Structure 1
C-alpha cells in the first residue's frame, strides 16, 4: 500500500521556518550544502526529524526526499522518533568502559527503566550509549545534549538524571549551561545562542588535557621514574647498549607480551608441532 503524503506544517510555522531556512541557505554558494543545518532546524521544531521536516528540506533545497532521507538516516545526531528534552549519552568506548562507563550505563538503564534510545515516561530523558567524544582524559564521560559531564560514577550519573527530571540545575563540567534538545538543535543550525553569558562559556581544554603540553614546555616536573622490576635503580634513561642480560631474556618477573618471546609449541623441543600425519601413515 503506498504511503500517504506527510501533513505539512501549519501556515504560521511554515512561514517562520521558511524565513529561517532562507537565512541558512544564504550562507552557502550551493544550496544543497545547507542540508545539515536545515535538518537541525526542522529538528528544533519537533524534537526529531519527521517526514514533514524532510519534505520541507527537500522543497527548500530542490532535492528529492530520498536524498534528504539518506542524510537524515546516516547521522546519529538526527533523531527519527520523539525523544526527551535531555539526551543523556554514556560513553561506552574502550577507555570510558574500563573506567566505569559500562557500570554507569547499566545503572541508568535500571534506574530509569529504559533501554538504549528509549525515553522516560515523563518525556524528560532519552538514554543512549555513545561512541568516543574525544574526552578520554576525563573518563568516564556522560554527555547531556552534547555538553560534557566528566569523571562520572554510577551515583553521580544517577543524581544527574534525577536533577534533569526534577527541573533542578545541572551544570556541565565544561562549556555552556544546559538547554533543551530543541534549543540545542537550533544552535547547531547556526543561529545565535541566546542564553545569558553563553558567549563566555565555550568549551576549552581543561587541566588534564593540557598536562602533556605543560610537561613538554618544562612547566611541570616529569613523572616519577619507576625502577626496573629487578630492583636496580639507575639514573636517567637506560641505554640499550648497556643491557647485560643474555639476548632474548626479559626482565625478571616481567611477563608482558611485548617482552622477549616465550617458548611456544613451535619453538619448544619438548612439544614439537610438526605436520599432521595422513591417516594410514
Structure 2
C-alpha cells in the first residue's frame, strides 16, 4: 500500500480517537480534575517517548546510513521544529486550556474564547499529525530500513491513545459553559481535524525529498517536544502534580513498549 495512503489512514485514526474522547460529553457526569490531570500527564509521556523512539532515533539511524553525521540533522531539525511551533504561537491567536479569555496569546483579536481554545488545540495537534505522516512516509522512502511500518503504526497508535484526553479536555469546558452536548462534541473533534491533513503533508514531504528524511523526523520530534513543555505539562500540573507525573511515567512506558513490540 502507498505510504501516503497509510499516512492518511493514520491521521484519520488519531482524529477518530479525539472524537471518541470528545464524545464523553454525552455522559451524565464530567470526569474529575484528577483524572483529567492524569490523562494529560499520560499524553505528555506518550508524546515524549514517541519523539525519542519513533522519530529521533530512527532519524539518526537513517542519517548515519546516508553517510551523514547523525547529530547534525537531529539537532538542526529538532530546533527548527520547536522554532516552527513558536512562530505559529506568535502569529496565531489562541488560548490554552483553563485560562481566562484575557490570557489569550498571539495577536489581539475579538474572537470568542471557544474559538481561541480550539485554535490552541489545533496548534497542538499539527505536529502530531505531521509526525504520523513523516513516520509512514519514511517507511516507503528510506531504503536503509531504519524506519519500519511497525514503528509508524506504534506512533499512530500512541498518539491516537493520547488524543482521547485531548478531545475530552476541549469538549467539557464548552459543556460547562452551557453549550449543548452535540455542539461541544463537534468542536472537540474539530480540534483534531487538521491531523489527517498534516499527516498527508508530512508523508508527501518525505516521499519527494528523501535526502531530508532525517531532518523531517527530527523536526516533527522538536515540534512535539515544544508542545509538551509549553502546554501539556504545565496544564497537567496545575492541581494534581503527583497524579500527572505518574501519568506521564505510565504514558512513556506504554509508548516505549509499543515501539519495541511493533517496531
Q: Does the alignment reach a TM-score above 0.5?
A: no
TM-score (norm 1): 0.23
The structure with more radius of gyration: 1
Q: More strand by proportion, 1 or 2?
A: 1
Q: Which has the higher contact order (CA 8 A, sep 6+)?
A: 2
TM-score (norm 2): 0.24
Q: More helix by proportion, 1 or 2?
A: 2
